[in-house]
Amino acid sequence: MKVIFIKDLKKQAKKGEIKEVKDGYAQNFLIKNGYAVQMNEKNLTTLKNQKEEEKLEDTKNRKEAEELKQKLEHEEFLFKVKTGENDKVFGSVSPKQIKDELHKKGYKIDKRQIELMSSISSLGYHNVNVILYKEIKAVIKVHLVK
């Protein structure tokens, strides 16, 4: 029996794949537990429509991420930090602090999207990666001053 997987199943198939499986396995496990549906014309057209919608959604999200990237890369984020002798910074700037500063300027970025290569613990300019979408990253400028 040919089935269309509607959920990912480890070591079996990914969502949207069409596979030939034994009838008993399909009826008693895959279909019963909601992992797959039997392949027929109706389900095939549903699958095609879902893939088209996902593609449109992906295109829309990419476009929005590119626009956000352009805006973010033209901004500078200033942090006033406490320093000791020889301008040594106490502590460092965390992704949460960067997220809070982004929120103040109107950007809805989660702290998990902020990628620090190393700790930001010296005065001056630092580049920080922000993951906006799958392969789209923005590099923002973080400036530490006393």
Q: Please give the pLDDT value at position 146.
A: 86
Residue 15, CB half-sphere, CA atoms under 13 Å: how many? Answer: 9
Tokens 């040594």, located at residue = 88
Q: Where are the domains of the chain?
A: 2-60, 65-145
Q: Please give the pLDDT value at position 104.
A: 92
CATH architecture of 2-60: 3-Layer(aba) Sandwich (3.40)
Tokens of 46: 């549903």
Q: Which among 78, 90, 84, 6 has a CA at the least distance from the CA of 43?
A: 6
Low-confidence ranges of the chain (pLDDT < 70): none
Q: How much is the pTM?
A: 0.73
Q: Fold for domain 65-145?
A: Ribosomal Protein L9; domain 2 (3.10.430)
